[in-house]
A = this chain, B = another copy of it.
Amino acid sequence: MSDTHTGVPSALEYELPRPVPADELAACPAGEVFRRVGDKWSVLLVVLLGGRPHRYNELHRAVEGISQRMLTRTLRGLEIDGLVRREVLPTVPPSVEYSLTPLGRSLLVPLSALADWAVRHEGDIRRARSDSTGR
């Protein structure tokens, strides 16, 4: 890790963990992720599974508001992306347990930071909104 990065002047009032690869972001890599983060269900499920593994209907009940279709779809997507692991338990009534993969757990970190920001600045946003409401 070289210390001296690009000659970016310290014109930033807030410090950025990284210069933020705007190009990269525009390209695609982060785009995919932000897509996932975009839909409420994915984030919610990751967070939920971050606490504990859940079974299908357990998730259905926990979220309550999501349709089976979306629950399945979202879980599939997360599974495909390697964020969630799906394990079928050999019980008489079939049970399926969903859990976070290490990759999924690692996502939980920046996700938490964002969620934290959201909670912390919820008031600011609402105020800003009502300030220009009804126009």
Does A22 sit within 8 A of B, measured CB to CB?
A: yes
Q: A18-B112, A108-B14, A113-B17 are in contact. Are A118 and B47 (CB under 8 A)?
A: no
A17 to chain B, nearest CB (A): 5
CB pair A34 B33 closer than 8 Å: no
Judge whether A63 is part of the interface by a CB distance below 8 angstroms: yes
Residues of B within 8 A of A63 (CB): 26
B44:A22 contact, CB within 8 angstroms: yes
* Chain A residues in the interface with B (C-beta under 8 A): 5, 13-22, 24-26, 29-35, 37-40, 43-44, 47-48, 50-52, 63, 65, 79-83, 102-103, 105-119, 121-122, 124-125, 127-129, 131-132, 134
